Structure 1
Amino acid sequence: MLLAYRNLLRAFRSAALVAAGGLGIATPLPAAPLPTTVIAALREANISLKNIGVYVQNVNAAQPLLDYRGRRPMDPASTMKLLTTAAALEQLGPDFTWKTEAYADGPIKNGVLQGNLYLKGYGDPLLTLERFWMLLRQLRQAGVRVIRGNLVLDKRYFHVPYRDPATFDDEPYKPYNAAPNALTVNFRVTEFRFLPEPARRTVRIVADPRPDGVRVINRLRLTHGACGAWRERLKQRVLPSRHGMTVLFDGRYAAACGEKSAYLRLYRNGGYVYSVFKQLWKTLGGVLNGALREGATPANATWLATANSPPLAVVERSLNKYSNNFMARQLFLTLGAETAGPPGLLENARQAVRRWLRRKGLHFPSLVMENGAGLSRTARITPQDLAAVLLAMHRSPFMPEYISTLPIAAVDGTMKKRLSGTPAASHAHIKTGTLDGVKAIAGYVRSRDGGTWSVAFLINDPHASAGAAAGDALLEWIYDYPPQRGDRTPRSRAREKLPGLGDYR
């Protein structure tokens, strides 16, 4: 009899929610406390309750189901990308594209460009090697084979003051520390592929693209056994010199690993683009006689070719699913340039986001955006405000495009290895964020009964790196809401102090 009553009550609640959803509201739900499974996971990770913030709300509800310290400004790490991509998607449109253009300032006679070649960038965050090669192929089709002059890079569409890439975390060669630039190819990274050759008892290393002046020293030792944590056994050092870069690889590499890759950002932007251009141009039968220069494209220059990016909706999918900091920073400056005019400035980008928030009726007084990517120690947003962005985008005409950019639990992106084998697998679209001392998740969960919930869970704690289990526990709890039979979680007010818990650290 009790089970029948519970099923009837659940059916009535779902029906009421659907009916109210047509009016844009939902039946009020009793507020919930911080789930005991989440508390247990935090205790196991030695993370203080004082250092977390949680906000959970049904997309059709007027009030949150769970608000635990949700009004506290916190470092969101890469979940800040949710705000950047939301504002850009609505202000630029899902079909917005970037372009990269090629111009000549001299005549072309018998395949010879008697002048300079200009490459003019507009901030394309996804100008990969393949697409750059296609641009060069267009130049060959336009009749250019030999370039007598220089290769001139026009990057004036952005204005970004130089900042030492080692400033953030003393890791200047990590790809995520690449600064934005109006003309960047292939994220400015070099891929190092490790190819085990058991017959020769060696590991071959292939660098692609390999900029001029890069020397690779291979001291890897091929071993047997499981692959395991192969990156922890791999030691790498970058040794700059006046003549280029030396990259040293040392350590043990198991044959069972098969082919793996590591990525490094070795050169500043101009030298990288120039080197890659020369290599690709040569494969197309082209010749470049001149050197690298930077400058403005002359007003009377002749257009030769254009490379267009995929549409913004597609670009944001790569950006959010794999939490690409470089792409987020490119998008942020693009937003500034497109809304206030070039050059793209950080302050103009911040103002564009705030104007979008005002149009949405959102007021975030504690919001601090440094670069739009969350790769920052000064960025701040509250869990409640982060959830408000999610709620606003769920009502947006571009809601399907936005949600499709987020990693799917146990399926792809940065959530591919999380919630695998649980009932919540594939039922959550979640953006993750990680920095030293920060662990964050934010996104949408589709619960067992068909409800859709926005969630923001931020951890700012010295032990935050161990906080993934707590985040997963929260997502599973939301998926199972309302509680199934046997769940004894009390339904006390979420904002009240949890009796008997306090702060256990």
Structure 2
Amino acid sequence: MGLGRTTLVAALSTTLVTGTVVTSAAQARVPAWPTVTSLLPSNMATKKTTTTEALESAMVRKIDRRIRHRHLGSKVSVTVQDLQSGRVLYTKKARRPFIPASTEKLATALAVLSGHDADDHFVTKVYRDSDRGRVITIAGGGDPTLTSGDLDTLAEQTADRLLADGTGGEKLKVRYDASYFAWPDPAPGWYSSYFSTYVTKPLALMRDRRMVSNGAWDAAAYFRDRLRAHGLKRVGAKVSSRTVPDTDEQISSFRGHTFGDALWRMLRYSDNSVAELLIRHVAKARGYETTTSGSASAVRDELKDLGIPMQGVEIADGSGLSRRNHLPTRTTSEIVRASMNPDDDDMSSIYRWASIPIAGRTGTLSSRFRAKATQCANGIVMAKTGTLSNVVALAGVATGLDGRYRSFSISVNDRPTGYSSDAARYRVDRIVTAITGCK
């Protein structure tokens, strides 16, 4: 990592202005980033057609009106800040704890990149025992993006090595080691069905994020089959767990995917399975237990160490599936700003690489901002979506028609059940168009 984290922590203040509307300069928790706009895609820039004073005055009036729409209900929180200076431009219930849904993944991303370089690789290793070299163990390194094709590549490398040294013709046993992380447990607030419907069990070894009872065994069994396909004809059928001892010899490895790759998928497509594995890496890096609770504590403490305002914050998981998660919108907006530290290439990589969905263009925002009243913001908003049955949220960066960039966080909890979530999302998008000043 560069000097970005040190710069961030050293520059923190302890003052945050609150209230329905903030029109005077306010010092934010995260320091000013004068060159932050260089991190955003060039096509997010807009032609300046209004003054900042006029845009912000109209923005306040429009948001005040739009947050009262019946499709949203009464539990709506909004925070808007100037991206570069941190000046708070608008707050509504900004300090109150709200369920963030998948905007929680922004907190996960910041915690991950605070302790890891974006180009750090996940490594899946293969060992053979030191006795007779007949026990082949595949050891997972917590790669959430590992695919069947990757395991085939690893099996080919392994088979070539064993055939070359003359042991490929012997009877071999395949074992797996998933001890890099603790056995997964459901997060507080999760329903029992989540592991088979919304998220893969976060094991240190798995393939294709398959929702099976034991992803490590599944990956090892596939690896066994590919060893046979690559010429090791005497590989035994049984696959079981084994912890690799220090005396084993590493004979091959696969290191094709990076933390940046995983974050891209997690943020662009709101991948819950990737998120739950990544928070375990945060725990591992901090020396915490890699259980769900230990990993959640690690994320919370990482954010606290970065100076993110933590009042009202509760972290239950990494994906945002749990309704026990709570993030005030002022916290989420500061997370957005902290993630754009121009002094830290790793921390800001999720924006430079456009991992965050772009309105009307990519990821979970590809079908939004296309209606007549919202299409003016198409392409000039980067934001993470969040949806649960009674929650709609959106947080990110919007380009204003005054040429300035603003971070924002919008969260709707307990939305009226008489209207669809699409209706609520549309009303949230209308709030965002007010932030851009385009409608």
Q: Could you say whether these structures have the same fold, taking a TM-score greater than 0.5 normalized by the shorter chain as the test?
A: yes
- CA offsets 1:54-81 (integer angstroms, 9 cap, x no match): 1111113444222111111011011101
Who is 1:138 aligned against?
Answer: 157
Alignment-mate amino acid for residue 72 of structure 1: R
In structure 2, the residue corresponding to 1:417 is in which secondary structure?
coil
Alignment-mate amino acid for residue 356 of structure 1: E
Instruction: Determine which of 295, 302, 321 is the counterpart of 2:242.
Output: 295
Alignment-mate amino acid for residue 325 of structure 1: N
Q: Distance in 2 between matches of 1:22 and 1:438?
A: 34
Q: Distance in 1 between matches of 2:97 and 2:241?
A: 42
Question: Do 1:146 and 1:289's aligned partners in 2 also have CA atoms closer than 8 Å?
Answer: no
Alignment-mate amino acid for residue 151 of structure 1: V
Who is 1:307 aligned against?
Answer: 254
Q: Distance in 2 between matches of 1:164 and 1:337?
A: 18
Task: Give matches, 1:206-285, under 5 Å.
Answer: 265-285=211-231
In structure 1, the residue corresponding to 2:376 is in which secondary structure?
coil
- CA offsets 1:233-280 (integer angstroms, 9 cap, x no match): xxxxxxxxxxxxxxxxxxxxxxxxxxxxxxxx2443244224422443
Who is 1:372 aligned against?
Answer: 318
In structure 1, the residue corresponding to 2:138 is in which secondary structure?
strand
Aligned-residue offset at 1:107: 7.3
Instruction: Determine which of 349, 360, 363 is the counterpart of 1:401.
Output: 349
Instruction: Determine which of 54, 69, 82 is the counterpart of 2:78.
Output: 54
Q: Distance in 1 between matches of 2:303 and 2:120?
A: 20
Check if 1:32 corresponds to 2:60. yes
Instruction: Determine which of 473, 477, 482 is the counterpart of 2:434.
Output: 477
Q: Name the one with the larger strand percent.
A: 1
In structure 1, the residue corresponding to 2:356 is in which secondary structure?
coil
Alignment-mate amino acid for residue 121 of structure 1: G
Task: Name which one, 1 or 2, has greater alpha-carbon Rg.
Answer: 1
Alignment-mate amino acid for residue 433 of structure 1: G
Who is 1:468 aligned against?
Answer: 425
Who is 1:220 aligned against?
Answer: none
Question: Do 1:103 and 1:119's aligned partners in 2 also have CA atoms closer than 8 Å?
Answer: yes
Question: Do 2:357 and 2:364's aligned partners in 1 also have CA atoms closer than 8 Å?
Answer: yes
Check if 1:99 corresponds to 2:123. yes
In structure 2, the residue corresponding to 1:54 is in which secondary structure?
strand
Q: Distance in 1 between matches of 2:89 and 2:187?
A: 44
Aligned-residue offset at 1:130: 1.7
Aligned-residue offset at 1:147: 6.6
Instruction: Determine which of 66, 82, 89 is the counterpart of 2:113.
Output: 89
In structure 2, the residue corresponding to 1:476 is in which secondary structure?
helix
Question: Do 2:184 and 2:203's aligned partners in 1 also have CA atoms closer than 8 Å?
Answer: no
Range moving further from structure 2, 299-308 or 148-157: 148-157
Structure 2 gaps, min length 5: 1-31, 37-51
Runs of 4+ in 1 over 6 A off after TM superposition: none
Question: Do 2:398 and 2:407's aligned partners in 1 also have CA atoms closer than 8 Å?
Answer: yes
Check if 1:65 corresponds to 2:89. yes
Q: TM-score, normalised by structure 1?
A: 0.68
Change (3 A) 1:447 1:184: same
Question: Do 1:428 and 1:445's aligned partners in 2 also have CA atoms closer than 8 Å?
Answer: yes
Question: Do 1:55 and 1:455's aligned partners in 2 also have CA atoms closer than 8 Å?
Answer: yes
In structure 2, the residue corresponding to 1:433 is in which secondary structure?
strand
Who is 1:441 aligned against?
Answer: 394
Alignment coverage as a number of residue pairs: 375
Q: TM-score, normalised by structure 2?
A: 0.77
In structure 2, the residue corresponding to 1:296 is in which secondary structure?
coil
Measured on the aligned residues, the alpha-carbon RMSD in Å equals 2.9
Check if 1:431 corresponds to 2:381. no
Q: Distance in 2 between matches of 1:384 and 1:167?
A: 25
In structure 2, the residue corresponding to 1:141 is in which secondary structure?
helix
Structure 1 gaps, min length 5: 1-19, 109-113, 189-264, 484-505
Aligned-residue offset at 1:296: 0.6
Question: Do 1:337 and 1:348's aligned partners in 2 also have CA atoms closer than 8 Å?
Answer: no
Question: Do 1:150 and 1:293's aligned partners in 2 also have CA atoms closer than 8 Å?
Answer: no
Instruction: Determine which of 299, 302, 325 is the counterpart of 2:272.
Output: 325
Question: Do 2:176 and 2:217's aligned partners in 1 also have CA atoms closer than 8 Å?
Answer: no
Aligned-residue offset at 1:151: 1.8
Aligned-residue offset at 1:37: 6.6
Question: Do 2:174 and 2:236's aligned partners in 1 also have CA atoms closer than 8 Å?
Answer: no
In structure 1, the residue corresponding to 2:162 is in which secondary structure?
coil
In structure 2, the residue corresponding to 1:93 is in which secondary structure?
coil
Q: Distance in 1 between matches of 2:143 and 2:230?
A: 23
